[in-house]
Each structure stands twice: as structure tokens, then as C-alpha cells.
Amino acid sequence: MQHWFVYYKVEASAVRGLEPRLRRMQQEAVAESGARPRLMRRTDGDGNAATLLEVYDEISSADAFKAALEAAVARADLPPPLLAQRRTERFEEI
């Protein structure tokens, strides 16, 4: 099983408005995969910017999940600066 971590920075004032879209996007991405989504905010930021972290646990098929996540992100109508900053890291338990 893989665990994916997707992170990016946004203006701190934008978090509240983005949260519903991000949660909807996550639910769409995991609908068929069975993965478990979480949404987090970094706690030691500078106050002006917030680092957000999407966590996806229990991914059994990386290729299928990647396609589902990309489709959900495309439908989410997220701001271009946020999209440009998204970074994904994948881990598995050893």
C-alpha cells in the first residue's frame, strides 16, 4: 500500500475559501480507490502563507489513483498558482 503526500503554499486568507473545494476534490479522487484522504495545514507558518497537505492513505493501485486524482484536480477549478506549486511524494511501508 502506498501513502501519497501532496503539498503546496497558499495565502493564509485563502484557506477557508479553498477548503470545501479541496475536500470535494479529495472525495472524488478516492471514490473508487478506497484510499483514505486527509487535509492538513502546517502549524509553524509565517502567518501570511499556509502550507497545505493532502494525504492519501491505503492506495493499492498507484496508476489508477494517479488518474483519479488528476481528473479530480482538473474538475476542482483550483487557482493556477496553487496548481503550479503542487508537489507529490509517495511512500510505502517497509
The pTM assigned to this predicted structure is 0.92
Quick check: 4 and 87 in contact, CB under 8 A?
A: no
- Please name the residues in contact with 57: beta carbons below 8 A apart, sequence gap of 6 or more: 1, 3, 35, 36, 37, 38
Residue extents of the structural domains in the chain: 2-92
Q: In this model, does residue 4 exceed pLDDT 80?
A: yes
The pLDDT tens digits for 29-69 are 999 888 999 999 998 877 789 999 999 999 999 999 999 99
CB contact at 8 A, 82 and 7: no
pLDDT score of 32: 80
Give the bridge partners for 9, in sequence order: 51
pLDDT at 39: 98
Which CATH number describes the domain made up of 2-92?
3.30.70.100
